[in-house]
Amino acid sequence: MEESKLEHQEMNIQQFREDLLNWFVEEQRDLPWRKDNQPYKVWVSEIMLQQTRVDTVIPYFERFMEEFPTMEEFAAADEEAVLKIWEGLGYYSRVRNLHSAVKEVVEKYNGIVPDTPKEISKLKGVGPYTAGAILSIAYGKPEPAVDGNVMRVLSRILLIEADIAKPSTRKIFEAAVRTLIDQSNPSYFNQALMELGALICTPTSPACLLCPVREHCQAYANGKEQVLPVKTRKKSVKNISLLSAVLKTADNLYLIRKRPNEGLLANLWEFPTMEVTVNKQYSTQRQALSRYLEQQYDTEIQLETGSFTHVDHVFSHLKWSMDVFAGEIAKTVNLQDGVRLVTEQELEALAFPVPHQKIWKAYKDTQKSGE
DNA sequence: AAGGCGGGGCT
DNA sequence: AGCCCAGCCTT
> Can you give the CATH number for the domain in which A163 is found?
1.10.340.30
Q: Using 50, 70 and 90 to split pLDDT, how confident is the model at A11? A: confident
Give the pLDDT of residue A277.
78
Nucleotide nearest to A194 (CA to C1'): C6
Rg (CA), chain A: 25
Nucleotide nearest to A320 (CA to C1'): B6
Residue A266 falls within a domain, yes or no? yes
3-class secondary-structure state, position A325 = strand
Measure the CA–CA gap between A326 and A254, rounded to whole angstroms. Answer: 11
A28 touches strand B (CB under 7 A): no
Domain region containing A335: 238-370
Residues A129 and A172 both lie in one domain = yes
Q: Using 50, 70 and 90 to split pLDDT, how confident is the model at A256? A: very high
Residues A167 and A31 both lie in one domain = yes
Measure the CA–CA gap between A94 and A92, rounded to whole angstroms. Answer: 5
Closest residue to B3 by CA to C1' distance?
A317
Closest residue to B10 by CA to C1' distance?
A204
A90 touches strand B (CB under 7 A): yes
Residue A217 has pLDDT above 80, yes or no: yes
Q: Measure CA of the first residue to CA of the last residue in chain A; give whole Å.
A: 68
Residue A9 has pLDDT above 60, yes or no: no
Q: Are the C-beta atoms of A42 and A133 separated by less than 8 Å?
A: yes
Nucleotide nearest to A204 (CA to C1'): B11
Residue A334 falls within a domain, yes or no? yes
Residue A235 has pLDDT above 90, yes or no: no
Identify the active-site residue in A3, A18, A46, A67: A46
Residues A201 and A297 both lie in one domain = no
Give the CA A179 to C1' C8 distance in Å. Answer: 26
Residue A326 has pLDDT above 70, yes or no: yes
Residue A335 has pLDDT above 90, yes or no: no
Average pLDDT of the segment spanning A283-302: 91
Residues A126 and A169 both lie in one domain = yes
Residue A363 has pLDDT above 50, yes or no: yes
Residue A117 has pLDDT above 90, yes or no: yes
Last residue in a domain, options A172, A195, A221:
A221
Residues A143 and A72 both lie in one domain = yes
Average pLDDT of the segment spanning A66-70: 98
Q: Are the C-beta atoms of A238 and A318 separated by less than 8 Å?
A: yes
Mean pLDDT computed over every residue of chain A: 93
Q: Tell me which nucleotides of strand C come within 7 A of a protein CB.
A: 2-9
Residue A272 has pLDDT above 90, yes or no: yes
Please count the structural domains in chain A: 2
Percent of chain A residues topping a pLDDT of 90: 88
Residue A5 falls within a domain, yes or no? no
Give the pLDDT of residue A3.
44
Average pLDDT of the segment spanning A52-65: 97
Q: Using 50, 70 and 90 to split pLDDT, how confident is the model at A280? A: low
Average pLDDT of the segment spanning A225-252: 91
3-class secondary-structure state, position A327 = strand
Residue A227 falls within a domain, yes or no? no
Give the pLDDT of residue A84.
98
Give the CA A204 to C1' B10 distance in Å. Answer: 10
Give the CA A320 to C1' B6 distance in Å. Answer: 12
Residues A134 and A105 both lie in one domain = yes
Give the CA A354 to C1' B8 distance in Å. Answer: 11
Q: Are the C-beta atoms of A33 and A62 separated by less than 8 Å?
A: no
Closest residue to C7 by CA to C1' distance?
A50
A186 touches strand B (CB under 7 A): no
Nucleotide nearest to A237 (CA to C1'): C2
Question: Which chain A residues 276-305 have CB under 7 A to strand C?
Answer: none
Give the pLDDT of residue A6.
55
Amino acid at A318: L
Measure the CA–CA gap between A64 and A68, rounded to whole angstroms. Answer: 6
Question: Which chain A residues 295-324 have CB under 7 A to strand B?
Answer: 313-318
Q: Using 50, 70 and 90 to split pLDDT, how confident is the model at A329? A: very high
Give the pLDDT of residue A2.
40
Query: Of residues A138 and A280, which shows the higher confidence score?
Result: A138
Closest CA to A43 of A119, A108, A123: A123
Give the CA A57 to C1' C8 distance in Å. Answer: 18
* Whether A104 is catalytic: no
Q: Using 50, 70 and 90 to split pLDDT, how confident is the model at A236? A: confident
Give the pLDDT of residue A1.
41
Cis peptide preceding A186, ω within 30 of 0: no
Burial (Cβ within 10 Å: 0-12, 13-18, ≥19) of residue A296: middle
